[in-house]
Amino acid sequence: MTADATTGLAVHWEPGTTIEWIYEGAGQFSEFPNVRPMTVVRDDEDGLVAWLAPGTPLIKPVLVDGRETRHAGPQGMHTEDRVLKLDIWHGTGILKVAPTGKPWSIWHFWAADETFLGWYVNLESEHRRDIEARRTSSMDYVLDLWIHPDRRIDWKDEDELEGAVATGRFTQAEADRIIADAHTAVREIEAWGSPFTDNWKDWRPDPHLRLPEAPTGYAVAHIAEELLG
């Protein structure tokens, strides 16, 4: 860890550190976080860059029948009962960049053949770090943006944000602020500065990187029998 020159307190993680990237549960589901162990690639005053490797064990909330929460629909996904599930990351890896002071993170996606697919802008609260516990926590804002390699921008999950308002997860004022944040993100995308110009799309992980261990310290109410051996 790197330390603040004035206080001597640790403020950043060293590359290679395993951390937990957490999206906290909201309202009645505050005890149902989404916890993804990730490997720090870079961490400094500009922000945190971390890698979610394929096959990483993680904890996520699911419906009581094991399906993803969004299968309950744009309103039900905010109200239906759920449990925590120990799972693994089934997709190709994701490189996530959380710029300092921004209400979003930017995820880089690749195909199985390592072709770059695009950027996913996840609207979320600014991250809060627990350096010693190696955790960074945020609240997901539901609304997202997808940026194609040619820089075209698609808005995603607007119906789910409307469902969040209808069910009381967000007030209309909060939703309006989230939409305003998305418009701010669009302006930054169109300006095409960092992190898009940092060439993270050409970054690849060390092929010998070990997978993080499963998250600990969480009450897992449901574990799929076929997973993790």
165 vs 176: CA distance, rounded Å: 10
- Counting the structural domains of the chain, the total is 1
Comparing 38-47, 66-75, 142-151, 218-227, the range with the smallest average pLDDT is 218-227
Does the pLDDT value for residue 133 go beyond 80? yes
193 vs 148: CA distance, rounded Å: 16
pTM (two decimals): 0.91
Evaluate whether residue 228 is within a structural domain. Answer: no
Q: CATH number, domain at 198?
A: 2.40.380.10
What pLDDT does residue 162 have?
Answer: 98
147 vs 120: CA distance, rounded Å: 6
What pLDDT does residue 2 have?
Answer: 62
The first and second tokens of residue 190, run together, are 């169109």
CB 63 within 8 A of CB 10: no
Comparing 6-15, 47-56, 146-155, 188-197, the range with the smallest average pLDDT is 6-15
Evaluate whether residue 229 is within a structural domain. Answer: no
Mean pLDDT along residues 102-131: 97
**What's the pLDDT band for 217 if we cut at 50, 70, 90?**
confident
Evaluate whether residue 13 is within a structural domain. Answer: yes
Evaluate whether residue 12 is within a structural domain. Answer: yes
Does the pLDDT value for residue 121 go beyond 50? yes
Q: Which domain holds residue 219?
A: 2-223
